[in-house]
């Protein structure tokens, strides 16, 4: 790097270009299979090569004599001793030994088996007859505990959850009955986490509700969740260890939207450019405020500064980080403490209102800038000479500071504090000249 600096040449850029190109080529060129086929697999070399590309080409070993024979075979996985035939690859006249290669895949679940005595002793249940239980277990055995299938084939109509519940409670009871001591089985998953019918039914119902939600419902839910999250956060800060559980959407679904009683129309996230932003802002502010006030009332005691913080956060939640910084900058320019020195109820209320007004101010300013930009595009199209707008736009830098500090007409106290500063107090006059020019233009044209 130093050598490059000394030479003063951008040496690396050229070599970098050359390096990048060959790298790309090697990535694209697959070996052994055509590019299109390679692309089907995702176009990237696999992490672990499944089949060696080289192996695909050179297969036939010259020293081995391969023939194929039509031979019978049996499957140890079958119980009926069925003899079938298939082609077998014979190497040097020696047929392969061993079981049918797919027999090892015949896995099944170990179903609990009970005798009639055991049934009488441990497994009787008012809701289930022995017949039904036996049927259930037969099906479980044949279908490997695939309860959906079992439920379909079960003679009497029982829900999947009921069947599961019966099976697992029987299994658990048998386990407990057969275990030498309760300690032995305490680690068994059947004992540690028993099947909870009501929970399962509820969970599945909720899932199906979520699945069948319309897009509008989804939107509503998201909004309610955001509100609820904000409330929980403010409550959690107050309560510390205590956690308040809110209705999770999968459990409540559409019910929570009604329960929360927050009009979804006002909390619409879409920012309509046509309407002045001030109209949208107050409605969201009132919603936030109401929730903050409600959460504050939940606390039995709170500090005024804490309440103010919450409200300020809520008010600036709709604004971006830059806007928040600008609000704070404006506050400082006005000579107001970012955190009031005497935070009484009245002072906090005034402070909050001031912040809101500044937010509105910033929004309006932005609006004005947009409109002027629009205006200049109009004029650039239809009029040639537009003295007004470009000069106005060039004042953009000045507009970042709305209030130059040292406002003399804000009171002597502020003036006293800023005596050391050099700039005299005056309100930024930038908007005014442009204010006048368009008027002149109009008059001239008419």
Partner 1 sequence: MINSSSSKQVGQDQQATSEPRSPRPKIKMVKSEESDKRILNKKLKDVEISIPIVYGNVSFWLGKKASEYQSHKWTVYVRGATNEDIGVVIKRVVFQLHSSFKNPTRVVESPPFELSEAGWGEFEIAITLYFHIDLCDKPLTLYHHLKLYPEDESGPMSSKKPVVAECFDEIAFPEPSEGFLVRVQNHPAVNVPRLPTGFTLPPPELFVVPFEDANRKKRGDTKDHPLSQWFMNFSEADELLQLAAARQQVQAYLAKLRRQISMIDGQHQQLKTISDS
Task: By CB under 8 A, name the binding residues for partner 1.
Answer: 296-297, 299-305, 307, 330-331, 334-337, 340-347, 350-351, 353-354, 357-358, 360-361, 364-365, 367-368, 371-372, 374-375, 378-379, 381-382, 402-403, 407, 410-411, 413-414, 427, 431, 435, 438, 442
Q: How near is the Cβ of 267 to partner 1 at its closest, in Å?
A: 25
Tell me the three state secondary structure of residue 94. Answer: strand
- On whether the CB atoms of residues 331 and 358 are closer than 8 A, the answer is yes
What residues pair up with 88 in beta bridges, in sequence order? 69
Which of residues 253 and 388 has its CB atom nearest to partner 1 in the complex?
A: 388
Cα–Cα distance for residue pair 299/398, rounded to 1 Å: 45
Q: How near is the Cβ of 432 to partner 1 at its closest, in Å?
A: 9
Cα–Cα distance for residue pair 205/252, rounded to 1 Å: 10
Q: How near is the Cβ of 228 to partner 1 at its closest, in Å?
A: 21
Burial 405-427 (b: 16+ CB within 10 A, else e): bbbeeeeeebeeeeeeeeeebee
Residue in the block written with tokens 């507009």: 399
Q: How near is the Cβ of 259 to partner 1 at its closest, in Å?
A: 21
Which of residues 85 and 370 has its CB atom nearest to partner 1 in the complex?
A: 370
Q: How near is the Cβ of 408 to partner 1 at its closest, in Å?
A: 11
Q: How near is the Cβ of 306 to partner 1 at its closest, in Å?
A: 9
Which of residues 141 and 367 has its CB atom nearest to partner 1 in the complex?
A: 367
Which of residues 100 and 302 has its CB atom nearest to partner 1 in the complex?
A: 302
Which of residues 252 and 348 has its CB atom nearest to partner 1 in the complex?
A: 348
Cα–Cα distance for residue pair 340/346, rounded to 1 Å: 11
Q: How near is the Cβ of 229 to partner 1 at its closest, in Å?
A: 22
**How is residue 427 annotated by DSSP?**
B
Which of residues 15 and 382 has its CB atom nearest to partner 1 in the complex?
A: 382
What residues pair up with 67 in beta bridges, in sequence order? 90
Maximal CA-CA distance, the chain = 113
Find, among 247, 251, 255, 248, the residue nearest to 217 by Cα.
Answer: 255
Which of residues 112 and 324 has its CB atom nearest to partner 1 in the complex?
A: 324
Going 391 to 392 to 398 to 404, the CA torsion angle's sign is: positive
Q: Which two tokens stand for residue 392?
A: 């106005």
């Amino acid at each position: 790097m130093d050598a490059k600096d000394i030479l003063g040449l951008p040496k690396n850029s050229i070599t970098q270009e050359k390096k990048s190109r060959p790298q790309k080529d090697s990535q694209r060129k697959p070996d052994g299979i055509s590019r299109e086929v390679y692309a089907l697999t995702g176009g990237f070399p696999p992490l672990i090569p499944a089949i060696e590309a080289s192996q695909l080409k050179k297969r036939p070993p010259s020293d081995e004599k391969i023939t194929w024979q039509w031979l019978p075979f049996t499957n140890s996985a079958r119980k009926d001793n069925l003899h079938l035939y298939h082609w077998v690859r014979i190497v040097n006249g020696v047929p392969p030994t061993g079981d049918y290669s797919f027999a090892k895949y015949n896995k099944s679940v170990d179903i609990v088996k009970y005798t009639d005595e055991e049934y009488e002793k441990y497994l009787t249940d008012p809701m289930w007859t022995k017949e039904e239980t036996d049927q259930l277990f037969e099906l479980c055995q044949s279908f490997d505990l695939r309860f959906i299938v079992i439920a379909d084939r079960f003679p009497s109509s029982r829900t999947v959850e009921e069947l599961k519940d019966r099976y697992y409670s029987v299994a658990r009871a048998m386990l407990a009955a057969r275990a030498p001591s309760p300690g032995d089985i305490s680690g068994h998953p059947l004992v540690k986490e028993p099947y909870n019918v009501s929970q399962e039914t509820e969970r599945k119902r909720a899932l199906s509700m979520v699945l069948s939600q319309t897009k509008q419902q989804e939107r509503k839910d998201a909004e309610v969740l955001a509100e609820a999250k904000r409330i929980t956060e403010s409550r959690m800060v107050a309560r510390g260890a205590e956690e308040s559980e809110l209705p999770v959407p999968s459990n409540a679904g559409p019910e929570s939207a009604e329960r929360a009683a927050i009009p979804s129309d006002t909390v619409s996230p879409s920012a309509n450019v046509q309407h002045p932003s001030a109209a949208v802002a107050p409605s969201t502010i009132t919603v936030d405020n109401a929730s903050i006030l409600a959460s504050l009332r939940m606390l039995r005691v709170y500090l005024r500064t804490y309440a103010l913080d919450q409200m300020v956060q809520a008010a600036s939640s709709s604004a971006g980080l830059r806007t928040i910084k600008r609000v704070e900058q404006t506050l400082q320019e006005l000579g107001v403490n970012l955190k009031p020195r005497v935070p009484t109820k009245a002072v906090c209320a005034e402070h909050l209102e001031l912040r809101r007004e500044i937010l509105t101010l910033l929004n309006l300013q932005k609006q004005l800038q947009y409109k002027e930009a629009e205006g200049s595009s109009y004029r650039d199209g239809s009029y040639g000479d537009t003295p007004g707008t470009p000069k106005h736009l060039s004042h953009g830098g000045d507009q970042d500071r709305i209030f130059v500090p040292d406002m003399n007409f804000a009171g002597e106290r502020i003036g006293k504090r800023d005596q050391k500063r050099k700039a005299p107090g005056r309100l930024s006059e930038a908007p005014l000249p442009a204010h006048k020019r368009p008027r002149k233009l109009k008059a001239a044209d008419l």
